[in-house]
Amino acid sequence: MRQAQPRPKPPFHPYLVLGVALVLPGLGQVLNNQANRGLLFLFTMIALGYVTYHLSTPEISLVGRYAGGLFIYALSLMDAYKWARIRWVIFHHPAATASSAAKAQASAEMPAATEKGHPQS
């Protein structure tokens, strides 16, 4: 007898991942099962924030002093949301992603046409 395989655990909603990433940098990637990527973003954010803080002068604003870290923080937010959205769409619409992949494969297998629309021989 064949046992039914359990359905995989659904990914977190992209807005939830974005909200967590807003509060705790790098944790959005952890929720997307990309822990190494989250640690990389976190440590890069801290390192660039430290470097820009020490390279700026005292009259620079607080945002300017930590500009490197804030830039990486913004990139990590976009990255966490983007991958959460991709995982969400793949999980909830497997037939749509499979059919689009099949269409792409079929179009790649079709013979190439010349400029006038005649098939090459």
DSSP labels for 18-40?
HHHHHHSTTHHHHHTT-HHHHHH
Q: How many separate domains does the chain show?
A: 1
87 is a domain residue? yes
8 is a domain residue? no
90 is a domain residue? yes
Q: What integer is the mean pLDDT of 2-29?
A: 90
| Beta carbons of 22 and 81 less than 8 angstroms apart | no
Q: What integer is the mean pLDDT of 12-30?
A: 95
| Beta carbons of 68 and 51 less than 8 angstroms apart | yes
CA 111/CA 121 separation, integer angstroms: 9
pLDDT tens per residue across span 74-115:
999 999 999 999 999 999 887 766 666 666 666 666 555 555
| Beta carbons of 38 and 24 less than 8 angstroms apart | no
What is the reported pLDDT for 57? 92
What is the reported pLDDT for 96? 64
DSSP assigned state of 7: P
pLDDT tens per residue across span 45-67:
999 999 999 999 999 999 999 99
103 is a domain residue? no
6 is a domain residue? no
Q: φ, ψ for residue 100 (rounded to 5)?
A: -70, -35
pTM confidence score: 0.72
Average pLDDT over the chain, rounded to whole? Answer: 86
Q: What integer is the mean pLDDT of 6-34?
A: 93
Domain around 46: 14-96
**CA dist list (Å): 3 to 6, 8, 10, 41:** 9, 15, 21, 41
92 Cβ contact list (under 8 Å, min separation 6):
10
What residue type is assigned to position 102 of the chain? Answer: A
106 is a domain residue? no
CA 15/CA 26 separation, integer angstroms: 15
